[in-house]
Structure 1
Amino acid sequence: MATSLSSNLLIIINLLTFLLSIPILSTGIDLSLHGATNCDKFLQTPLILIGILLLASSLVGFVGVSSRNAFLLWVYLFTTFMLILAALVFSVFAFVVTNKGAGEAVSGARFYEYKLGDYSNWLQKRVSNPKNWMKIKSCLQDTKVCKSLQQANPTKDEFYNKNLTPIQSGCCKPPIECGFTYQNATVWDKPSGFSASNPDCNTWQNNGSVLCYDCQSCKAGVVDYLKTHWKKVATINIIFIALLIIVYTIGCHAFRRVRTERFFDRYMI
């Protein structure tokens, strides 16, 4: 009874996985064909890969247990084991590279400011790589991350009381230490005879398509965003690993059942 239950459970799991893979793969293909922004293009490759992997794995598992094919079940178990291993490696790596860096409080403001050097070297290098940053900056410009601040048109006091996101704080305004005069959320005037040690102060422009998109603070905001979301993904990944281990255990029971049945079919009948 236990072994029959394991086979039935594995069939149900793989059927659900197959159904899940269809919208994931369809979304990835749709983004590759009709994606309008660079952000869409960032998403298409991982979605397509995940969809293909889930589709192939579920089909192999479903056919293997339905046809009592020991080889296909072995391939399925090997793939599942490699997924568990990859998920474990990713979780450990994610926690390691996100253990450094945090926003710094600004006097008289509710938002924080971010410095690139506070974060892990790996994240710094990945984001600061000119090729990567060109794509990220294009994505930020396409999604108009600063537009909501412009539309709200807050007063200086209202602006300083806003809970800006790390990206808004780093990319949509100059660092407060620059001492610029606030006009509106994305227009800050440089004082006469201005000079500053922070290179971001010279990089800032009131042009809505430029702002601080090339600032180190903007890169730091992106890194902080990645850090926060990687931690969330790594935490969720632990649940995913637990589910994979359960599926792998059920698969092992089904695999032993198939091998036992094949043995009796070959030698005992």
Structure 2
Amino acid sequence: MVVSLAGFAGACYRNTFLMYLYLWAMFFIIAALIGFVIFAYAVTDKGSGRPVMNRVYLEYHLQDYSGWLRERVTSQSYWSKISSCIRDSHVCGKMRRTYNGGIPETVEMFNVRRLSPLESGCCKPPTECGYTYLNETVWNPGGGIVGGDPDCARWSNYQQQLCYNCNSCKAGVLASLKKSWRKVSVINIVILIILVIMYMVAIAAFRHNKRIDNDEPYGETRMEKTQPSRIHF
């Protein structure tokens, strides 16, 4: 807003300093936006959910992601804060659905739900682990864990733990970040187009002001020469 007001004042009052300030500031803002858009697409170019047989929801695996964003999310110092935030948001508790006066949904109904990356990765064990469904966040090991995924041993029915320390949960966070960063990038691209148009208009206004400033001395001199001389007695 400050930069825009400076540009507006510079254009209206033909202040060269304010116009210079506006153009340089806009240049750095546009460059920063371009850099952020490129960075956002570069760090979220890999990784997506995997389909599961007889399930509508997708499951997420940490090995599908790589690069700076994965290292950032999975670092112990950051993950402790992220997992605490997920736990405090009660995203898993909000998954529960009941019908006909408190009857929980069946496993068939759960399997056709479209779960978010956080719900799929953090609130249930991986399908390959062979857990038996009791409700959305309570699963029975049944005849024993059959999958080789390390997350199978990390799952807990304790509602404050669930799969918050699982790699699938970290992958779900990465998938959520990818989705949100891509949305922000689209918004930034629209803003970038608007700013480029405004920048081009500002350049035209700046050149117009300079042309007027350059023409004024010549115009004043010519008017003085064309005025008739006065004779004084």
Paired residue total: 215
CA root-mean-square deviation: 2.0
Secondary structure of the 1:183 match is strand
1:56-135 pair list within 5 angstroms: 56-135=2-81
After TM superposition, the structure 1 = structure 2 runs for residues 133-212 of structure 1, keeping only pairs within 5 Å, are 133-152=79-98, 153-191=104-142, 194=145, 196-212=147-163
Aligned to 1:240: 191
Which region of structure 1 is more displaced relative to structure 2, 164-173 or 123-132?
123-132
Q: Which whole-Å deviations, capped at 9, do the CAs of 1:187-207 have from their partners, x for residues lacking one? A: 012236547532211211112
- CA distance in 2 between counterparts of 1:220 and 1:115 reads 6
Deviations 1:28-56 (A, max 9, x none): xxxxxxxxxxxxxxxxxxxxxxxxxxx32
With normalisation by structure 2, the TM-score equals 0.83
Please, which runs of 5 or more residues in structure 2 have no aligned partner? 99-103, 221-233
Q: What TM-score, normalized to structure 1?
A: 0.73
State the Cα distance separating 1:255 from its structure 2 match. Answer: 1.3
Looking at structure 2, the residues matched to 64 and 180 of structure 1 have their Cα atoms a distance apart, in angstroms, of 68
The structure with the largest helix share of the pair is: 1
**Alpha-carbon displacement from aligned partner over 1:217-268 (angstroms, at most 9, x marks no partner):** 0110111111122222223322222111100000101111222333345665
Compare CA radii of gyration and give the structure with the larger one: 2
Identity between Structure 1 and Structure 2 (%)? 43
**Structure 1 residues 184, 130: closer, same or farther in 2, change over 3 A?**
same
In the superposition, relative to structure 1, how do residues 199 and 69 fare at CA in structure 2: closer, same or farther (>3 Å)? Answer: same
Code of the aligned partner of 1:141: R
Structure 1 position 215 matched with structure 2 position 166: yes
1:118-157 C-alpha deviation (Å, 9 max, x unpaired): 1232221121122222222222222211122124432111
Change (3 A) 1:139 1:57: farther
Change (3 A) 1:258 1:188: same
CA displacement at 1:105 relative to structure 2: 1.0
